[in-house]
Structure 1
Amino acid sequence: MKKITKSMAILALLTSGSLAFAQNIKNIPEVKNSDDKALIVKADHQELEAKKKAAEEKTKLPKPYDPKADAEKDIEKMIAQAKKEGKNVIIQAGGNWCIWCLRFNQYVQTTPELKKLVDDNYVYYHLNYSPDNKNEKVFTEYGNPGDKFGYPVFIVLDQNGKMIHVQQSDVLEEGKSYSLEKVKEFFKTWTTKS
């Protein structure tokens, strides 16, 4: 009985996988020959591999977003600190689910000239957006920039808490990371110092 059950389970898995594959092929317009189907399978495989690598990378990166944080109170404290220190505030909005958010954080933290530029000129805050805590009230206050630009998105506040800039992140990207020159330019543009 065990052998039959195992065989049936394997057959069911193979059949369901074949059916799912066949459905995917049927839903793709104008797949005319086996070479086209092979290209589709190869593309699907590459996409799965890329997702797997991103998931592995995500597990290794620090998680700076805290879904349990009281963002309103935290940002008030950041503004008070910025005023006291003569700096602006950068809010990096995103979440620990977002590979590009984690990559940006890691990039800034491990690139000495960027880390110094940020530490010398800004009070920095990671504003969480996730199913656990969407921080809707805070995001609404800043015009919901994630809806428009995706994540991460950067909100720059002056020392009084006034929003002075929103920066989308995709223009700062380069390959699977970020452009040092573009990120430096972004940070330099919004400092309080000339």
Structure 2
Amino acid sequence: MKKLLITGLLSFGILTFSQELKEKTNERETNKALLIKTDHAELQAQKKAAEEKSTLPKPYNPKANAEQDIKKLIAKAKKENKNIMIQAGGNWCIWCLRFNQFVQTNDELKKIVDKNFLYYHLNYSPDNKNEKVFAKYDKPGDKFGYPVFIVLDKTGKLIHIQRSDVLEEGKGYGLEKVKDFFLQWVPKK
């Protein structure tokens, strides 16, 4: 009787262990399949973003002397009574390129920008990080990512730094959000 009980308990233990092992193996297989599916989806998204990026204009110039360019813009802004809108980012940044394309291809936004701002694309890339210029504005890209907008008045005084994520809508930018942002920083007459 004792032997039968021990044999029964051992058999039950082995069956339980075998079932747990099977469940863990199934769980691992499911997790592995999910990882593969996720990796595939991420690769597809990266491929799609790279294709989109290749079709968009590249407004950032890594070879530009941003300090000198901004000084010239300040002199011009004083004469034209315009503020300066600096879009900081790089040609590597899909959201930077999307924003540029969004503004350039929307007549209403383009009209607001052309009338009220001198627009500058401040490059940040491995080729040229423009560290002096970014330091002057407290390195906003480090805090908010890219693109980030630096708004200067006609004298070159910093009047606002704007994160871009609050301007996003879906996989792009919201017209009313961007329009409100620009209109908020037009020069005071």
Structure 2 length-normalised TM: 0.84
The separation in 1 between residues aligned to 2:155 and 2:164, in whole angstroms, is 24
Name which one, 1 or 2, has greater alpha-carbon Rg.
2
1:106 to 101, 104, 113: 101
Partner of 2:7: none
Partner of 1:146: 141
The separation in 1 between residues aligned to 2:95 and 2:72, in whole angstroms, is 26
Q: CA deviation at 1:55?
A: 0.6
Runs of 4 or more above 6 Å deviation = none
Q: Which structure 2 residues correspond to residues 37-56 of structure 1 after superposition, within 5 A?
A: 37-56=32-51
The separation in 2 between residues aligned to 1:183 and 1:112, in whole angstroms, is 13
Q: Which structure 2 residues correspond to residues 127-166 of structure 1 after superposition, within 5 A?
A: 127-166=122-161
Q: CA deviation at 1:32?
A: 2.6
| Structure 1 residue 125 corresponds to structure 2 residue 127 | no
Partner of 1:65, secondary structure, is coil
Farther off after superposition, 99-108 or 33-42: 33-42
Partner of 1:92, secondary structure, is strand
Q: What percent identity do the matched residue pairs reach? A: 71
Farther off after superposition, 36-45 or 94-103: 36-45
Partner of 2:179: 184
Q: How many residues align?
A: 165
Partner of 2:84: 89
The separation in 1 between residues aligned to 2:48 and 2:116, in whole angstroms, is 34
The separation in 1 between residues aligned to 2:37 and 2:188, in whole angstroms, is 52
The separation in 2 between residues aligned to 1:74 and 1:116, in whole angstroms, is 23
Partner of 2:35, secondary structure, is helix
Partner of 2:10: none
Partner of 1:32, secondary structure, is helix
Unaligned runs of 5+ in 2: 1-25
